[in-house]
Amino acid sequence: MILSAASATWLALPAVLAYVVASLPAAEGQRWPAQALMAAWLLHGLMLLAGADFQGSHGGLRLGFAPVLSFTLWLVLLVHGIESRLMPVGQLRRLLAWGGVAAVALAWLFPGEVRAVAHSRWAPLHWVLGLTSYGLFGAAVLHALMLDSADQRLRGKGPGPATALGLPLLKLERLTFRFVEAGFVVLTLALVLGLASPNWSWRDHKTVLSLLGWATFAALIAGRLWRGWRGRQATRWLYAGTLLLLLAYVGSRFVLEVLLHRPVT
């Protein structure tokens, strides 16, 4: 391998510095903040790749709570990069940059000594789909926060342009729940593949919370389709489902790895 686990430590510092540079105030139209954010994103990705440890004898992969959170933020930044090509989303730059600082620092402090072993041939795809669903729901939450913020400003100031991120609120709302729908499909596939694992158990906290999160997103999609849920009523369900998913994997791993110091496979 070109990258080793030790490389992750050396990549963490420049990634953090690049994110800090990207978070600095800048006049509108200047390109260096976006360039710094792109450089930080690339370094962040290399750090995650270096710390993945693909050299396990059984195709192991380190999936501690911090690397999963870090990868989720990395995917959200990928979505932001794509959207920035299509619409003006520069006001999110500083927020995401500071999120990147926290994500890189957390993954460096808690790299995840636990190695997830592929107990079935579907396990690697299950991991990829699970991580992807985290990223999609993370992007949905980010858009929902912007949506709620714009809605609150609109309600406080009375009549005015109903826009956020340069988009009409209704269009932003549709975009938000496109991420929810995509995340739900990916999460469903991940859960179905998880059934093929011999380690699957209905008594496992991760399983129960994941299914509760799935049911929450299913209720949200059904509520929007048949009951016309919109605005804060819908975003509350989104936040609740995302919180359940975070508790399912990140929360359970945090307790086992950091608080109880128990080995997890």
- Per-residue pLDDT for 6 more than 80? no
Mean pLDDT of 137-141: 94
Q: What is the rounded distance in angstroms from the CA atom of residue 21 to the CA atom of residue 115?
A: 33
Closest CA to 216 of 198, 242, 248, 178: 242
Residue 265 banded pLDDT, cuts 50, 70, 90: low
For residues 45, 188, 61, 252, the Cα torsion angle rounded to the nearest 10 degrees is: 100
- How confident is the model over 204-233, as a mean pLDDT? 91
| Band (53; pLDDT cuts 50, 70, 90) | low
SS3 label, residue 29: coil
Q: What is the largest CA-CA distance in the chain?
A: 63
Task: Please return the burial class of 249, using the count of CB atoms within 10 Å of its CB with bins 0-12, 13-18 and 19+.
Answer: buried
Nearest in space to 133 (alpha carbons), one of 52, 53, 48, 72: 72
Question: Which residues neighbour 91 within 8 Å (Cβ) at sequence distance 6 or greater?
Answer: 165
| Residues 129 and 186 sit within 8 Å (Cβ to Cβ) | yes
Name the token pair of 152: 């609150």
Q: What pTM was estimated for this model as a whole?
A: 0.85
CA 94 to chain centre: 17
Q: What is the pLDDT of residue 54?
A: 52
Model confidence band, residue 1 (pLDDT cutoffs 50, 70, 90) = very low
Query: Where are the alpha helices (H) located in 51-157, listed in sequence order?
Result: 65-84, 93-109, 123-157
Sequence-separated (6 or more) residues with CB below 8 Å from residue 252: 205, 206, 209
Burial 90-104 (b: 16+ CB within 10 A, else e): bebbbebbebbbebb
Instruction: Report the pLDDT value the prediction gives residue 57, as an integer from 0 to 100.
Output: 46
115 vs 92, more confident: 92
- Average pLDDT (202-228) is 90
Task: Look at residue 249 in the predicted model and tell me its pLDDT.
Answer: 86
pLDDT above 90 (res 41): yes
pLDDT band for 58, please (50, 70, 90 cuts). very low
More confident residue, 124 or 265: 124
Residue 80 tokens, joined: 């932001």
Q: Please report which confidence band the pLDDT of residue 186 belongs to, taking 50, 70 and 90 as the band edges.
A: very high
Query: What average pLDDT is seen over the chain?
Result: 82
Sign of CA dihedral 181, 186, 187, 193: positive
